[in-house]
Structure 1
Amino acid sequence: MTEVSAAPQPVPSTVPVTASRFVARWLGAAPERAEQLASLSTVSLADADFRALLEGELAKGLPLERAMRRVRNLLISTIVARDLGGQADLDEVVTAMTAFADFAIQTHVASLMAELVAAHGMPVGEDSGRPQHLIVLAMGKQGGGELNVSSDIDLIFVYPEDGDTAAEAGQRQLSNHEFFIRLGRRLSAALSEVIEDGFVFRVDMALRPNGKSGPLAASFGMVEEYLIVQGREWERYAWVKARAVTGEPDDIAALDAIVQPFIFRRYLDFGVIDAIRTMHAQIRAEVKRQERLHPERSHNVKLGRGGIREIEFLAQVFQLIRGGRDPALRERSTRKTLLLLAERELLTVDTVERLLAAYTFLRNLEHRLQYLEDAQTHTLPASDDDRLTVARMMGCPDEATLLARLEEQRTYVAQQFDAIFADKEAPEPDPDTPALVDDLDNLDALTERLAGLGFNDTRAAAGRLTTTLQGTRLTSLPDFSRVRLLALVEAALPLIATVVKDAGMGSHAATLGRLLDLFEAIARRSAYLALLTEYPHTLERVIRMINASGWAATFLTQHPILLDELLDDRNAGAEALPQLAASLDAQLTDAAGDTERQLDILRETHHAQLFRLLALDLAGELSVEHLADHLSALADTIVGAVVTHAWRAVNGRHREVPRFAVIAYGKLGGKELGYVSDLDVIFLYEDDDGDAPPLYARLAQRFITWMTAPTPAGILFDIDIALRPDGASGMLVSSIAAFERYQGEAAWIWEHQALTRARFCAGDAAIGARFEAIREQVLRKDRSGQADVLKNEVMQMRARMHGANLNRSTQFDLKHDAGGMIDIEFIVQYLVLRHAHTYPQLTANAGNIALLHLCGELGLIDAALASQVAAAYRAMRKLQHSVRLQSHDKTRVERTQLGAHPDSVLRLWHACFGD
């Protein structure tokens, strides 16, 4: 986790514990309590044994209700003493209060349940026939483990199934619904009724389905129907913190399965920003109304500007946007969520440190306001004396100092809140300028508008705008989405003009067409429209990217979830692969048993990393070689994850870790992978178990399926396994011993050529080391006596490839034409096979450019010519990459773009093979 400094430690108060009038009254009612308080105040409340304290009160002959209230009063007094004495920090205070609330609920539920069962029998599910138990859901701060000292508790009562109680003789049967409503009423009364010893907790049930008009207890079926049919955005916010305090583990898991899809969307849900903005505005309006009616109730530290609620909103908006894709963000605690946001780089470490400091200050102040009278208040008291007391409780000499510190914290929180929640809808248009929608029926007016923006191909651009925006796909959108989309197009037009001008490349009409393709793809996904609206800079980044690359535009249109990667500068550097591998493994482990989700996780992770590299590439920050290195390393990481987790899905596996390896050939083997390269691989194993061959064959089949199966998130890679021993007629997997025999006795020369660009990719490292040893042995074979045979075999294979890829155009095929990239690769492969016996350093999988230079240094070819061909290979790879970025399937260019490079390659070919 990202290191985030701890929030400020408590400052000892300058007032005695009796500054709390509640504590003073409690101590004054019974002198012996001072000794009890002094004894308990010496140890952290994290170690408090509530059961022992309760048993002590019960031993005095008190009923449970009175005993629980006395424990509560002792706990509150102890918290006040430790907090004001600087012995307890915020974490101890809220953790102790939460633990006591849980204990009180669990204890009363057990007692009341026993009473009701004795009178009516055990509730039984009508479908399962199993005993039914009440699940008490703690919401709000109790659910998040951060309960106030004088807070009410927000509860929801749920039970699994309808049915009836199993009444026996003398018992009156009830429906499960009636049974649990009675249990809920009694529990609420046991906690909240004010008797001679006070109360335990005020109970608020307003968050239950249908609120105060809904039944006090609801079955799972009722909860599910309500959330699907009537659940509102603000309820998603509330349910994030829902935590079961009672209930059976299996029932709690079943309830989670119902509730989690309502709270967390499987896509990135940026629409929630507007929903929280609306809810916040309603809260603020009510606070302002109360302050107008009661001016003395100013400075609401919870609901006021820059208050506790805004920090909670800041944390939870990221949870609701991303929690569906990142389960770690489903954390209930505000403080822990903030730390996760720093770890995920969603907020900076400095921002999180300051928000945590503000949260600690505001919560400590909130507690001191409540210490005065044990009252659920969040505003500064009206009395000047009380304000001074609160200031001194906070370690401030006077009220003015306290207010200055309060204003500093609230100002920072408000700034951070506005940075995310300020309304970013397009401003009102100039009344003298017609809206874009007004021009759609007038092609001339639209053309004139585009010309005024600087478009150079106005007719084509205007035609495309009209066709798209008046097409049925967009005209059938809901009004809100259509208005938002039109606003985005309106905002995009001047940006396109600026981007094309700044880049000095691209076509206005082409870039507009690519953007409209994207808009058509996301038009019905309001979350993506919300993203581009809430983060206007993202729209500009999209336009810059699609102007630079048609392939990038197509990729983004196919995978619009990647818009998230453009939100900020998190793509300023490729993520460290060990960190990526660990994160990927954790996500796949969490999704174990859900293969569909695992496939999507792999694809989303790969696409996101690939997109980050694409952004760096288009910004000119990566050379072709460095890009290929990154893409190859990323593929290795994905391959390793698939092997590990696909194996765990193989039934009947005989070991936890497979003795299985993936060997990479071709572009992956040579670390020259491109954006859309397929993977040439073979599968090896070394395992004497009799069940190993079919199990590893099943793993290989599953590996191919996981890589190639199309899902809503796309595919990972196409897989080519033609290079396995005996090719298409060979076994899908080979033992390492069989592979060694094949390479030594039966392999063709072209298979040895392929071996020059092969390497261990992922899986069992010991098998990988065996493979590398076999590869070295094969490549270093003395071929001096068969030099002509080797030369002829290589030439014949090259001729067959050339014949299969004839180029009848006037352009130069960078890959297949004579003097192109395959000629260079064949030259290098020939030189390795011919001379590695004498020069074993040639077997290093160092890439074609490095090996050409090495052959020149060793005198195997002319050193100057070697440098020229290395430069040709680099130039062709760069051109190939550039052409593919513009969405061209065939890598052909005008011959003039290559200069003398093909001639240099042909000279070296002739030097090696003759005419």
Structure 2
Amino acid sequence: MLHAVKCSPFIARLINSDAGLLTELGATLHRPWTAAEMQSWLDSHEVVDDAGLKRALRQLRRRVMLRLIVRDLNGLGGVDEVMQVVSTLAEISLQFALRHITGWLESQYGTPIGEESGERQQFTVVGMGKLGGSELNVSSDIDLIFAFAEDGETNGAKSISNFEFFTRLAKRLIAAIDEITEDGFVFRVDMRLRPYGSEGPLACSFAMLEEYYQNQGREWERYAWIKGRVVAGPDQGLTELLRPFVFRKYLDFGAFASMRDLKVQIQQDVNRRDMHDNIKLGRGGIREVEFIAQVFQLIRGGRDASLQVKPTLSVLGLLEAKGLLPTHAVRELRQAYIFLRNLEHRLQYLEDTQTQDLPVSEESRRRIALGMGYDDWNAFLDVLEQHRTVVQRHFEEVFNDPADECTEQEVPRQREVALWKRALQGEEAVEAMAQLNYREPAETLRKLLSLHDSPRYKQLPELSRQRFDALVPLAIKEAAQEVNPDQALIRVADLLDSICRRASYLALLAEYPSALTLVTRIVAASPWLAQYLTQHPILLDELLDTRNLYAAPDFAAMHADLEQRMTSLTGDLERQMDEMRHFKHAAVFRFAAKDVAGELALETLSDYLSALADIILDVVIKTVWSVLRHRHREQPLFAVIGYGKLGGKELGYASDLDIIFLYDDEAPEAGEVYAKLGQRVNTWLGSITSAGTLYETDMQLRPDGASGLLVSSVQAFQLYQQEKAWVWEHQALTRARFCAGNPQVGATFECIRESVLRQPRDRQSLAAEVVAMRQKMHQAHPNHGELFDLKHDRGGIVDVEFIVQYLVLAHASQYPELTRNLGNIALLDILGGLGLVNAALAHEVAQAYRDYRRRQHAIRLQGDQKARVPLDQVEREVSAVRRLWQQVFSDDA
């Protein structure tokens, strides 16, 4: 107790004013205050009027503050306890006062009734700032906003409007908490955050709040509402009503500039009022830590609901977990925040005043150093300065204006700016483009400047146009470094043009000029990727963390992440579908970034894309099943089987999915239930939403094709494969695999597959059917040009696939290892090793197949639909495939 008195004159006065407090403290010091204990204390006092209400609340505050401060100064509690207990005191006090004052007013005027609903109207108290975040300090103001759902009037004999009723309620509630009596006060109440500030009404209807924030809400009000939380009275849907104002659906990188401007205003006020020793608003203070946490909430909170939490320390932890801030930065910010909040509390313990200024008197300085655990003021000050310096450094790293931090090499030279602004014209402009390495300078400049003349550019808001004007010269400079600079610049310009009406995307590139460098490199490498990025500009966000962009994927973590996202959006089908599409597009884009950087072998890329499809299929099944009506079991006995490129793990960027659905469930209703599940899964995959689509699907390989059932039981599938399936369907089965759903059903499918593939077959009739099917395919894809079609022409990809499929079907009964779904390259090597074909030729064909796929992939990346090349480029590969075809089918036909 003596230590607390030395640190806090306020505590000394409190004890001297009421000797009974010390006795109470001795019996309760070992435990922190709880909401239940506070409520019980208040309920034990009879309150019949405003005077009694004020007395009870203030006497409770004295007891709470005494125990809380003594516990904190003696190391029995900590900063978390202080913030939580004071916030709880505020909530309990507001709720207790609201309950009594509401009753008194209703006895006088009647119950307020909504004019639309005809129902009783209730008062909603929103805590803003530190109260909303459950982070109050011991002498904190509480920032409040008062609201009620509907206008109308009371139903008493002395009727008044709901607005007047709730305004009277607001005034008496404020007085109950804020007014200074002989017992002191509870909390100072600040109402300046309400609509229209001090000039606005004390209580607003929900309709008025919605209209105000939709049409007049300012950026600083979005920042304030991040911590907005109903602390007394019912929510009545207010939180959901205002959520779109606070958290945008898109990634809102414009928040950087807004928060930067707000900090500048605060800094100007600090300078004007000489508040440099203020640990909240001054350099490296509490507010800077809060801004760092909250800017990420503003940017990403609409897309990631988990970031909509209130307490600053909780937000910092999430930023670390999500890789948005480095671990060391979060550790340093957390340590600094706790130190500064402890200091803030000790400053207020001195005299129970709302202050964040360092003291000037020697006695107060001595008390603060003692309370913070230091021998003297200078030792304390050294540590404080270290924390403030760290906070300032991290704040500047997050909020520095990119225009201020660019080096001379990064800033576009005047030439690029002059070209875009038309300060250079005619031959002079063309010559400048040529000097920058552009090969078609006149035409490229003409195309670029057509954007300057477009209605879309001219109609941009001023801030967006400023950002666009800053980005185009950077694009001119970056594109000039590419192998084909003209092509690269036009693609980047087209991308900027397509996103310019979404201010947040321009803001992203303006805030992160290095992202524009990556964009240029990616779109220069592939028109397909340029189009992909244009269709899904939200993927620009993926460019900000190059560690994640180029890291090897953790598919288990991705699976868990997608499941968590779907669970968090349960009940909102549209957002679930959009979120899954965003997830897929982001993953594909990360793979593509590694691909165009030359860091990904084609086989690895196909493995990645196939694993991604498996994850999406599995989570779609779980998500659809969880909301399927009439489902008869907790987990479905249902599986997705992949054929073709998915089955062979050879997916490309734009591949569709060849799939079938199987179930193994003897319940009478199983067929009907799984038919609905299969239909919904197919719809999930193929539906076009605002976020695009997941996959085109092809279900024609199911039993009986397009005329067959969408979903088959494993028994029906087995019977069909054994008795009715065509040879080409058995060929397809060589590349089939279980992709998603119930593993037990997948294992049953695999047993059926192996049994069918190992059936003894007459090689001569088998060969004749395979050759006939190949002829049909060839006729269906005629090539009348001079170029060689890598997929369909004789000696191409399809020939290799048919060779392998035939050999598997012909010999699997003798060599079970051929039933393993290893891919064509591995199977060719096995076939050669078994002596079923010439080993050297099989190896040569395997290499040809790898080369074909590599070329096919490169051509598709350049945007061409048909993969065709001059025959002389692949003559050796074609010859090898044709020779193996001849060897296999002339021997067996």
TM range (shorter): over 0.9
1:155 aligns with 2:155: no
1:285 aligns with 2:261: no
Counterparts of 2:763 and 2:196, CA distance in 1: 86
Aligned CA distance change for structure 1 residues 219 and 676 (closer, same or farther; 3 Å): same
Match of 1:92 in 2: 81
Counterparts of 1:682 and 1:285, CA distance in 2: 66
Greater mean alpha carbon deviation, residues 612-621 or residues 648-657: 648-657
1:206 aligns with 2:185: no
Counterparts of 1:239 and 1:767, CA distance in 2: 50
Paired residues of 1:811 and 1:893 also in contact (CA < 8 A)? yes
Aligned CA distance change for structure 1 residues 699 and 412 (closer, same or farther; 3 Å): same
1:179 aligns with 2:162: no
Counterparts of 2:476 and 2:416, CA distance in 1: 14
**Which deviations, in whole Å up to 9, do the C-alpha atoms of 1:105-154 show, x marking residues without a partner?**
11111111111111122222222222221111111111111111110101
Greater mean alpha carbon deviation, residues 384-393 or residues 147-156: 384-393
Paired residues of 1:664 and 1:682 also in contact (CA < 8 A)? yes
Paired residues of 1:588 and 1:645 also in contact (CA < 8 A)? yes
Match of 2:320 in 1: 342
Counterparts of 2:163 and 2:308, CA distance in 1: 30
Counterparts of 2:671 and 2:205, CA distance in 1: 50
Match of 1:853 in 2: 829
**Which deviations, in whole Å up to 9, do the C-alpha atoms of 1:541-569 show, x marking residues without a partner?**
11111111221111111111100000122
Counterparts of 1:483 and 1:160, CA distance in 2: 41
Paired residues of 1:650 and 1:699 also in contact (CA < 8 A)? yes
Counterparts of 1:71 and 1:60, CA distance in 2: 17
The 5 Å alignment of 1:516-665 reads 516-569=493-546, 570-665=548-643
The match for 1:73 among 56, 62, 84 is: 62
Match of 2:881 in 1: 905
Match of 1:460 in 2: 443
Greater mean alpha carbon deviation, residues 157-166 or residues 889-898: 889-898
The match for 1:490 among 467, 473, 478 is: 473
Counterparts of 1:490 and 1:429, CA distance in 2: 6
1:395 aligns with 2:373: yes
1:439 aligns with 2:410: no
Task: Give the secondary structure class of the aligned counterpart of 2:325.
Answer: coil
Counterparts of 2:759 and 2:314, CA distance in 1: 60
Counterparts of 1:557 and 1:809, CA distance in 2: 32
Match of 2:395 in 1: 417
> Displacement, 1:450?
1.3
Counterparts of 1:638 and 1:701, CA distance in 2: 16
Counterparts of 2:401 and 2:276, CA distance in 1: 26
Paired residues of 1:57 and 1:70 also in contact (CA < 8 A)? no
**Which deviations, in whole Å up to 9, do the C-alpha atoms of 1:614-651 show, x marking residues without a partner?**
11111222111111111101011111111122233433
Counterparts of 2:73 and 2:377, CA distance in 1: 17
1:230 aligns with 2:230: no
Q: Which ranges of structure 2 fall in alignment gaps of 5 or more residues? A: none
Amino acid at match of 2:497: E
Paired residues of 1:139 and 1:156 also in contact (CA < 8 A)? yes
Paired residues of 1:136 and 1:244 also in contact (CA < 8 A)? yes
**Which deviations, in whole Å up to 9, do the C-alpha atoms of 1:309-343 show, x marking residues without a partner?**
11111011111111111000101111101100111
Paired residues of 1:17 and 1:84 also in contact (CA < 8 A)? no
Paired residues of 1:436 and 1:486 also in contact (CA < 8 A)? no
Match of 1:4 in 2: none
Aligned CA distance change for structure 1 residues 431 and 625 (closer, same or farther; 3 Å): closer
> Displacement, 1:217?
0.8
Task: Give the secondary structure class of the aligned counterpart of 1:435.
Answer: helix
Match of 2:838 in 1: 862
Counterparts of 2:681 and 2:472, CA distance in 1: 43
> Displacement, 1:432?
9.1
Counterparts of 2:424 and 2:47, CA distance in 1: 86
The match for 2:183 among 190, 193, 197 is: 197
Paired residues of 1:455 and 1:497 also in contact (CA < 8 A)? yes
1:35 aligns with 2:13: no
> Displacement, 1:688?
3.2
Greater mean alpha carbon deviation, residues 37-46 or residues 190-199: 37-46
Identity of aligned residues (%): 48
1:885 aligns with 2:861: yes
The count of residues paired between Structure 1 and Structure 2 equals: 884
Aligned CA distance change for structure 1 residues 745 and 433 (closer, same or farther; 3 Å): closer
Amino acid at match of 2:458: T
Task: Give the secondary structure class of the aligned counterpart of 1:218.
Answer: strand
Task: Give the secondary structure class of the aligned counterpart of 1:203.
Answer: strand
Amino acid at match of 1:44: P
**Which deviations, in whole Å up to 9, do the C-alpha atoms of 1:728-785 show, x marking residues without a partner?**
11111112111111011100000001011111111122211111111111011111xx
Counterparts of 1:433 and 1:245, CA distance in 2: 55
Aligned CA distance change for structure 1 residues 741 and 443 (closer, same or farther; 3 Å): farther
Counterparts of 2:493 and 2:47, CA distance in 1: 76
Counterparts of 2:510 and 2:852, CA distance in 1: 41
Paired residues of 2:210 and 2:241 also in contact (CA < 8 A)? yes
Paired residues of 1:46 and 1:95 also in contact (CA < 8 A)? no
Match of 1:707 in 2: 685
> Displacement, 1:14?
10
Counterparts of 2:90 and 2:642, CA distance in 1: 58
Aligned CA distance change for structure 1 residues 571 and 430 (closer, same or farther; 3 Å): closer
Counterparts of 2:288 and 2:576, CA distance in 1: 35
Task: Give the secondary structure class of the aligned counterpart of 1:889.
Answer: coil
Task: Give the secondary structure class of the aligned counterpart of 1:49.
Answer: helix
TM-score (norm 1): 0.94
**Which deviations, in whole Å up to 9, do the C-alpha atoms of 1:436-489 show, x marking residues without a partner?**
344278242321221222222212211211222222222222233222212101
Task: Give the secondary structure class of the aligned counterpart of 1:135.
Answer: strand
Counterparts of 1:429 and 1:883, CA distance in 2: 34
1:26 aligns with 2:20: no
Aligned CA distance change for structure 1 residues 715 and 364 (closer, same or farther; 3 Å): same
Counterparts of 1:742 and 1:69, CA distance in 2: 82
Task: Give the secondary structure class of the aligned counterpart of 1:331.
Answer: coil
TM-score (norm 2): 0.96
Match of 2:713 in 1: 735
Paired residues of 2:527 and 2:863 also in contact (CA < 8 A)? yes
Paired residues of 2:645 and 2:651 also in contact (CA < 8 A)? yes
Counterparts of 2:181 and 2:190, CA distance in 1: 18
Paired residues of 2:8 and 2:367 also in contact (CA < 8 A)? no
1:133 aligns with 2:122: yes
Paired residues of 1:440 and 1:466 also in contact (CA < 8 A)? no
Paired residues of 1:600 and 1:713 also in contact (CA < 8 A)? yes
Task: Give the secondary structure class of the aligned counterpart of 1:16.
Answer: helix
1:871 aligns with 2:874: no
Match of 1:299 in 2: 277
The match for 1:754 among 732, 735, 738 is: 732
Task: Give the secondary structure class of the aligned counterpart of 1:900.
Answer: helix
Q: Which ranges of structure 1 fall in alignment gaps of 5 or more residues? A: 1-12, 292-296
The match for 1:245 among 231, 234, 239 is: 231
Task: Give the secondary structure class of the aligned counterpart of 1:245.
Answer: strand
Counterparts of 1:488 and 1:544, CA distance in 2: 15
Match of 1:826 in 2: 802
Amino acid at match of 2:583: T
Counterparts of 1:386 and 1:121, CA distance in 2: 53
Paired residues of 1:391 and 1:399 also in contact (CA < 8 A)? yes
Match of 1:386 in 2: 364
Counterparts of 1:301 and 1:466, CA distance in 2: 51
Aligned CA distance change for structure 1 residues 700 and 59 (closer, same or farther; 3 Å): closer
Task: Give the secondary structure class of the aligned counterpart of 1:372.
Answer: helix
Counterparts of 2:439 and 2:786, CA distance in 1: 30
> Displacement, 1:434?
6.5
Paired residues of 1:439 and 1:445 also in contact (CA < 8 A)? no
Amino acid at match of 1:183: L
